[in-house]
Every structure is written in C-alpha cells, then in structure tokens.
Amino acid sequence: MPERSKAETPLSADPAEATRAALVSAGLHLFGHKGFAAASTREIAARAGANVAAIAYHFGSKAGLRRACAEEVAARIGHVLGDLGAGPRPATPGEARARLRAALRAITGYLAAAPEAADLAAFLLREITEEGEVLDRLYETTVGPRHRQLCALWGLATGTDPEAEETRLSVFAMIGQVVYFRIGRPVVLRRMGDAGLDPEALTRILIRNLDAALDAALDAAIREVPR
Amino acid sequence: MPERSKAETPLSADPAEATRAALVSAGLHLFGHKGFAAASTREIAARAGANVAAIAYHFGSKAGLRRACAEEVAARIGHVLGDLGAGPRPATPGEARARLRAALRAITGYLAAAPEAADLAAFLLREITEEGEVLDRLYETTVGPRHRQLCALWGLATGTDPEAEETRLSVFAMIGQVVYFRIGRPVVLRRMGDAGLDPEALTRILIRNLDAALDAALDAAIREVPR
DNA sequence: TCAAATGATTTAATCGTTTGATTGAAGTGA
DNA sequence: TCACTTCAATCAAACGATTAAATCATTTGA
C-alpha cells in the first residue's frame, strides 16, 4: 500500500496526470541526489506512490522520465524569471539595475525558500557534470537565452557592451553565487550553525549580501568604463 | 592487456602504490562524474588498469575507496592553499587583502588549469549533495578550518568581525564564485564560445574578474563599517 | 651465487542480489 | 462496453563481493 506522501504534488483532476507529476517530482529528487544511473526505477516509483511500469507507460523509459524532468526544470526556471525581457525596455541605467536586482531576488528567494528548489538545483547540477544530450537541450532552450537577457540588462545598467567577455563572466558570477548557496547549503549551514538559523533568516541575509555584491560589481564595471 | 592509460598517475617506485594511486584517480573521476552508486567497481578498475579485486584488496570495499578519494581531496586542498595561516599574522589591512587575493588566485589557477581539478571538484560536489559521512569528515578536517582562516583574513582586511554572519557569507560567496566556474564550465564554455577560448585565456580573464570582485566586496564591507 | 621459500599483489571465475524493461491480467471512469 | 491506466510477476544483464590460483619481488640458507 504505497502512499503518495513524500513527493507531494499539486493534486490534479486527472489522476493519470497526477501520476505523471508525482513521477517527475520523484525523478527530480532522486536523479538530483543520487545521479541518473544510481536512481533505480523501483525507488522512483515507490517515492511517487506509483508502480514501476508506470514509468515506461508514461515516459517510454527511464531516459524518457529524465527528459521530462529536464522539461520541468526549464518550465520552472521560466516561471521564476518570468517576463525578464518583457515590458518596456529599461530607459535608464537605474531601471536596468532595478530589473537586475529584482531578477536576482526572484532567483534567490525561490532557490532558498521553495522546498522543491533543492531537487531542481541538484538535478540541473547533475546534468551539467554528466554533460549529456539533456544538458545540450537545457542550455539551448533555457539557460543560454536567459543568460543573454541578463547580459543585456547588465549592459544597460553599466553602459558596457552586453556581449563583452567581462559582462558575460560577471553575469555568470552573479548567478553562480546564488546557485552555489543552494548547492552548498549543507556546508553553509554547518558553518553558520544549523541549529538556530531558520531558512527565512538565511534568505534575508543572503538577499542583503547579494544585493550589496551586485551593486559593488555594477559600480566596479561602470568605474572601469566611465563613458 | 589493460593499460594504465587514462588515469595517468605519477609513477611510483612501488608498483602496488601505483595501483592504489591509479584506483583513487579513477575513483575521483567516476565517483565525481557519475555518482558513487552509479560508478561500478568494474569500470573503476578498468579505468585504472587494475583488476576488480584490487579495490577490495587495497581499500577493503568500494566504500573504502570512496574514503580514500576523500582523503586525496583533502590533501590536495591543503596543498593548494598551503600555509594560508602560516607566516607572520598580517599587520595591516593591505597585507591581509594581499593574502586573500593570493589565496583566491591559487584556488582559481589550480581549479582552472590543473587537469585533475575537474574530477576533484566534481567529487566534492557529489559528496555535498549526497550528505554522507564522507562530507562530515571532509567538512570538519578541511573545509571548515580553511573557511575560518579565510574569514580571519577577511576580518583583518576590512576591520570587521571575522565571525560575523556577513563575513562568513561573503567568504562563502567568494569561494563559491570560483567553484561555480569550475563546476559550470561546460555551460560557461558554451556561452563564451568553446571554439576560440583556450583554458589559459579563460583563467586570465577569470582571475582579473575575480580580483575586481574581491576588491569590490572588501571595499563594500569597509564602507559599511567605517571603524 | 643461486635455487628454494616466503609474503605481497594480481588474476579469472563465481556467488547471490538488484537492475531496467516487459508482459498480460486486473482495475478504473466515462 | 471501451479506452486508458495500474498492477504483480518475470526476464536477462550487470552489480559488489569473494575465492583460490597464479604471478611478482625479496629474502633465505647453504
């Protein structure tokens, strides 16, 4: 009598869709924390409260579930960053900076607070180190375009070339800081004293620090190329 | 006739020691890139040019090899950061800042240039997400102490409390940037254009950028607490 | 000086278990 | 009923571990 307990999923009217979602959720967690090959289909099914055969039925194979998980990651990244490039093009450097700060806060808040974000980040990281087709697709459809958008904002905020080497690396560093805190959380928590530090407090401190780091980086970029 | 080709190891006078080293090297690579459970003993042995039974013979078990890999990681981190706390205690903030910059450059140079660094970083990252005993030990013996040393330098360079929350997080962010670039290299290279960017050039750009980021972060910390 | 002996290391073969995938029967809602 | 979905049972392949035999480098005894 397996219960759909651990991989809590937004209940859907369609029970089949619920199974799909539960499998993807369980896949994100186990692929992310144990690696693709090490996560057995039995374990994934058990965590999702589904039968092993459901994986083959809904996704064709274990690899199919992996692809579905990647799509879920892409969708959530899109949802969190939302309409980053939408709306009127920032008219002033100040507006661009505000938009950058908002994006950074959105990512930080989501990664630090949302319970499923841990699985998401872990999954993405696994795919990066394994360098397979899934990463290719994920980069082309999501990571690359989003990075270009952030570079454009950075360029507007600093008056520098959005596609300059330095700009691209600076944006990577900015994102890297956030991702790193999510991935390295077990280590960070040890150092910060796991006991008396609730997630909200950590998020607050984190956002304050990252805001400061962003301003510092932008100001430094402006100082280097004043005009 | 398996050859000890892929996992190149500093040849040792003792052939048994060479086997040990080859197994650790292969273990670092495969544990790091596929995860502990997914890396089979057969594959590790094949990559090391050794027999499967050699793992049990030299390390007791697959888990024993994992511990040996962790010790190797600790040793190399110690070697790269060297005598971070040694020498005379920095007398001026400027000296402390220089020492911080040197540490950051050492880490960046090693991670970006040394061929085995990729396996090392991947292994460490896996252990962090899997959160087992190996991470506990690695944190207590290596990561934690080193982080405290860097915080002490940060405190001296900025005149702030070395153990303040902000200091500890800032140091994490600083290290995080470097580690992130090594882990995320596949993504970064895609964005920077894999083709015409040699590792040395990337390292140079990276160090320049990280130097600037460090100065910006330190100056921001000083500005906040003028005293 | 050199064969025999010794302990350390490596080898191929094998054990019981778990893996991903498949199957046909049973269950479910419209 | 009928299409869709889930289920328990089963398969060959690969897994970690173990074993006895083979091989290597050194030391021993005369």
Residue B55 sits in a domain of what CATH number? 1.10.10
Confidence grade of residue A141 (pLDDT, cut at 50, 70, 90) = very high
Kindly determine whether residue B191 and residue A184, on different chains, have CB atoms separated by under 8 Å.
Answer: no
Kindly determine whether residue A173 and residue B169, on different chains, have CB atoms separated by under 8 Å.
Answer: no
Q: Is residue B65 part of a domain?
A: no
Q: Is residue A3 part of a domain?
A: no
Q: Which residues contact B144 (CB under 8 A, 6 or more apart)?
A: A190, A191
Q: Is residue A153 part of a domain?
A: yes
- B56 and B97 housed in the same domain: no
Q: What is the pLDDT of residues A13-31, one digit of tens each?
A: 566 788 899 999 999 999 9
Among B86, B218, B111, B214, CA closest to B156: B218
For A220, left (φ over 0), alpha (ψ -120 to 50), or beta? alpha
Instruction: Give the domain extent around A193.
Output: 69-224
The predicted pLDDT at position A15 comes to 66
On average, the pLDDT of chain A sits at 86
Residue A8, pLDDT above cutoff 60: no
- A73 and A40 housed in the same domain: no
Among A204, A73, A93, A89, CA closest to A139: A73
Confidence grade of residue B6 (pLDDT, cut at 50, 70, 90) = very low
Residues composing chain A: 227
- A142 and A162 housed in the same domain: yes
- B111 and B189 housed in the same domain: yes
- A47 and A90 housed in the same domain: no
Residues in chain A closer than 8 A to B126 (CB atoms): 35
- A94 and A21 housed in the same domain: no
Q: What is the pLDDT of residues A104-119, one digit of tens each?
A: 999 998 988 888 899 9
- A24 and A46 housed in the same domain: yes
Taking the CB of residue A56, how many other CB atoms lie within 10 A of it?
14
Q: Is residue A211 part of a domain?
A: yes
Q: Is residue A4 part of a domain?
A: no
Return d(Cα A219, Cα A225) in angstroms, integer. 10
Total domain count, chain B = 2
Return d(Cα A66, Cα A69) in angstroms, integer. 5
Tell me the one-letter amino acid at A193: G
Residues in chain A closer than 8 A to B191 (CB atoms): 144, 147, 168, 172
Mutate to test the interface with A, among B187, B188, B205 (most CBs of A within 10 A): B187
Kindly determine whether residue B170 and residue A206, on different chains, have CB atoms separated by under 8 Å.
Answer: no
Residue B10 exposed, middle or buried by CB count within 10 Å (0-12, 13-18, 19+): exposed
The answer to whether the beta carbons of residues A12 and B12 sit under 8 Å apart is: no
- Considering only CB atoms, B130 lies closest to which of A33, A184, A205, namely A33
Helices (H), chain A: 15-34, 41-48, 53-59, 62-81, 93-113, 117-130, 133-138, 144-158, 165-183, 185-192, 199-224
Question: What sign results for the dihedral spanned by CA atoms A154, A157, A158, A164?
Answer: positive
CATH number for the domain that contains residue B116 = 1.10.357.10
- B165 and B102 housed in the same domain: yes
Q: What is the pLDDT of residues A158-196, one digit of tens each?
A: 999 999 988 998 898 888 888 888 888 899 989 988 666
The predicted pLDDT at position A74 comes to 94
Residue A179 exposed, middle or buried by CB count within 10 Å (0-12, 13-18, 19+): buried
- Considering only CB atoms, B125 lies closest to which of A33, A125, A173, namely A125
- A89 and A55 housed in the same domain: no
The answer to whether the beta carbon of residue A170 comes closer than 7 angstroms to any atom of strand C is no
Q: What is the pLDDT of residues B80-129, one digit of tens each?
A: 988 776 778 888 999 999 999 999 999 998 988 888 899 999 999 999 98
Q: Give, in Å, how far the C1' of C15 lies from the CA of B68.
A: 27
Among B218, B72, B89, CA closest to A220: B218
- B29 and B117 housed in the same domain: no
Tell me the one-letter amino acid at B163: E
Residues in chain A closer than 8 A to B144 (CB atoms): 190-191
Residues in chain B closer than 8 A to A122 (CB atoms): 129
pLDDT greater at residue B196 or residue A42: A42
Q: Is residue A158 part of a domain?
A: yes
Q: Is residue A2 part of a domain?
A: no
Dig out the tokens for A46 from the structure. 């058990």
- B137 and B164 housed in the same domain: yes
Query: CA of A15 to nearest chain B CA: how many angstroms apart?
Result: 32
Dig out the tokens for A183 from the structure. 């991935």
Q: Is residue B78 part of a domain?
A: yes
Return d(Cα B155, Cα B164) in angstroms, integer. 9
A140, A226, B29, B98 from B152: Cα distances, Å: 42, 34, 33, 13
- A95 and A51 housed in the same domain: no
